[in-house]
Amino acid sequence: MTTIKNCRLAAGNVTDIQIEQGVIVKIGRPLSGGDEIDTRHGTVLPGVIDAHVHFREPGGEHKEDWATGSAAAASGGVTTVLDMPNTNPPTVDEPSLAIKRERAQQSLVNYGFFLGATTKNSEAIKTVRDVAGVKIYVGSSTGNLLVSEDDDIEKLFAIPSIQWVIHAEDESRIRENSRQIGRSEDPAAHSQIRDPQTAVEAVRRVIALARKTNARIHICHVSTKEELSFIDAARHEGVAITCEVSPHHLFLNEAAYRMQFTFVKVNPPIRTAEDNAALIQGLAAGTIDIVATDHAPHTREEKNQHPIDAPSGMPEVETSLPLLLNLVNHGGLTLERLQQITAERPAELFRLRGKGRIAVGYDADITVVDMQKKQRVSKNMIRSKCGWSPYEGQMLTGWPVMTMVNGNVVYSNGTLNDRFKGKEVMYGKV
């Protein structure tokens, strides 16, 4: 038994929480017994669920693996991650999923997986169980998963009872822009090759197909205010659509290319300050459902290549919560809304049993944050194997100070505890 004392919750009330066998069994005051942890100087939140990570195993272990990625996650207050399928080999059927399940057992945090869609694996999609959803890359990105033609997407959407997760960039437009721009030496050309219309057109196409087939779709890493308009309109028309935003589309824009060059190259690209503001507003207002990092680390050597050859992606799982807490401290978001977008809604959208809330009967996945703690992002603190962050040098107010996974403390005030391992998530209601 563990009792967490003096828990200040997001709404401001203070209570105690009692845990047995990894599950919350009592909430109220006063409670005592077993190992006692006093959190009087922190705020207690449900553990962050990051529904979009690339932990690179198998095939990309020089960039990240489950040990280093989960260590970074735990340090960032993340208690559950959902891993994307564009590994090597890609996760497209039961055998490739089994490989990933075996590798993930070294994870410090809980984990789940997405299956990847191809033009040839519809039977596997129909039969594979216990995944959060199926990812469709409408535009090319890291790896070789691509389903870009409307006929192929429509055939997939016709498969019933699937949560489709969409990388929405228009492949034909990417190729045409690439042909016109060529091998530019300017890193900012990436935002022209994959221009805003590339994302908007793909979202428009996917919504039309979802409307036609009654498919349930989730749009990953929305990057423009125009996409939000299409998504909001579709939702009001009855389309089963949700969406996410990544931290880099909230807090970085095209001005970052001047100092960080290819280190801020990502798919979809960073956009304008106007888009930043619109996305933050959409997040606060509820147009955007969740924050998911798209944590996609690459080595410094890989990023230091020619702008066209450098891979897209950046590490984010460790800094996402501090960035959002900093936003709360600056009035851009309430703590209650942060709790919804980082825990409650991800659990609801992907049917994660027992996750996302501090409530009796839910798993004891808990993050304690110090809302007053000021700390500068430094490369020395980065636990991701890549060893760098696009936010290096930024002073942020509000940091996680303790992360509890299934009732076990795996991170506390800068120290990791790797004696405990996470578990694969289960799907359905609590």
Residue 61 makes CB contacts below 8 A (sequence gap 6+) with none
Q: What is the pLDDT of residue 102?
A: 97
Q: What is the mean pLDDT of each run of 10 residues along the chain (430 residues)?
A: 96 95 96 92 96 97 98 98 97 97 98 97 95 96 88 97 97 97 97 98 98 98 97 97 98 97 98 98 97 98 97 98 98 97 98 98 98 96 97 98 98 96 90
Q: Which residue has the tokens 């942060």?
A: 338
Cβ contact 218:157 at 8 Å = no
Instruction: Quote the mean pLDDT of the chain.
Output: 97
Tokens of 140: 């090319």
Neighbours of 339 (CB within 10 A): 22
Whether 363 is catalytic is no
**Element at 166 (helix H, strand E):** strand 163-167
Q: Which of 238, 244, 346, 318 is nearest to 287 (CA)?
A: 244
**Radius of gyration (Cα) for the chain, nearest Å?**
21
Residue type, 417: N
pTM of the entire structure?
A: 0.98
Beta pairing class for 133-137 and 110-116: parallel
pLDDT at 145: 92
Classify 45 as helix, strand or coil: strand
pLDDT at 41: 86
DSSP string, 211-251: HHHT-EEEE-S---HHHHHHHHHHHHTT--EEEEE-HHHHH
Indicate the fold that domain 47-354 takes in CATH.
TIM Barrel (3.20.20)
Q: Take residue 374 and report the two structure tokens written for it.
A: 């000021």
Domain with CATH 3.20.20.140 in the chain: 47-354
Q: How many Cβ atoms are within 10 Å of 236's Cβ, its own excluded?
A: 8
Of 50, 83, 195, 294, which residue is the catalytic one? Answer: 294
What 8-state DSSP symbol labels residue 26? E
- DSSP code, position 427: B
Angle ∠(166,49,302) on CA atoms, nearest 5: 65
Residues near 404 by beta carbon (within 8 Å), at least 6 away in sequence: 47, 79, 364, 365, 366, 367, 368, 410
Q: Which residues contact 206 (CB under 8 A, 6 or more apart)?
A: 138, 153, 166, 168, 217, 219
The two tokens of residue 35 are 């190992």
Q: Give me the pLDDT at residue 430, please.
A: 58
Question: Tokens 């799907």 correspond to what residue?
Answer: 427
Unique residue bearing structure tokens 């027992």:
354
Q: How many Å apart are CA 364 and CA 24, to the nearest integer?
A: 5
* 63, 386 contact by CB (below 8 A): yes
8 A C-beta contact, residue 296 and residue 312: yes
| DSSP conformation letters of 56-91 | -TTT-TTT--HHHHHHHHHHTTEEEEEE-S-SSS--
